[in-house]
Amino acid sequence: MVSDININTANDVVNDIVSWGGEAVAVMADVAKEEDIQNLIDTAVEKYGTLDILVNNAGIMDNFVSAGNLTDELWEKVFAVNSTGPMRAIRKAIPIFLEKGKGVIINIASVGGLYGSRAGAAYTASKHAVIGLTKNVGFQYANRGIRCNAIAPGGVKTNLGDTITDSDKFGMERATAGAVINPRFGESEEIAQIALFLASDESSFINGAVITADGGWTAY
């Protein structure tokens, strides 16, 4: 299942998968909307009979807005996509996984969820929330055949930057203070390979964990 708020982008990915001999279905979903998440997972079950793996990958930035300039509107918008969306998807998937006694959840967090200022206040807090949710779900359902892990990427070449439209000058200056020590930006395929490993039985003993993938940026 390929899901995106932009159905054209989702269809492009489906076409790539099909061109390589695979099978895929595109579904438009705004993860900030409960009904879209319900429809996405219901469609997966209708199409394939069950759900095996859930990857929560949608995310938006927060224009590096510092706490002193943060509005309720921005806070709620960022949390709706970055934190509440994954929670709702997990909530929807858990009964399916419990019934079959098996399931894998992969949350795409961020190094911003491990440290204090890789972005603005809302994004930072939302990604910390994703990591806390990951650990909670991983432990609580460990004896029920369900694993939940997170990937914390550093800078990766994706369209996430498109959600940066009007940066907070003070917040961006502080958040990018350590950017000069970033060894390099990653490719999306490099994150996908980690997700593939976490989705497989080869990672059967990894649960409630966060894998940092940042080229060594946070090792400094």
Catalytically active residues, by annotation: 123
98: Cβ contacts below 8 Å, ≥ 6 apart: 141, 144, 146
Based on DSSP, count helices (H) and strands (E) in the chain, helices before strands: 7, 8
Tokens 């409630």 sit at which residue?
208
Residue 9 burial (CB < 10 Å; 0-12/13-18/19+)?
middle
Do residues 156 and 188 touch, judged by C-beta distance below 8 A?
A: yes
Count the Cβ atoms, other than its own, within 10 Å of residue 33. Answer: 14
- DSSP letters for 34-99: HHHHHHHHHHHHHHHSS--EEEE------TT--GGG--HHHHHHHHIIIIIHHHHHHHHHHHHHHH
Tokens 């994954």 sit at which residue?
86
Q: Token pair of 141, please?
A: 């359902």
Running DSSP on this structure, what letter comes out for residue 115?
S
Count the Cβ atoms, other than its own, within 10 Å of residue 215. Answer: 17
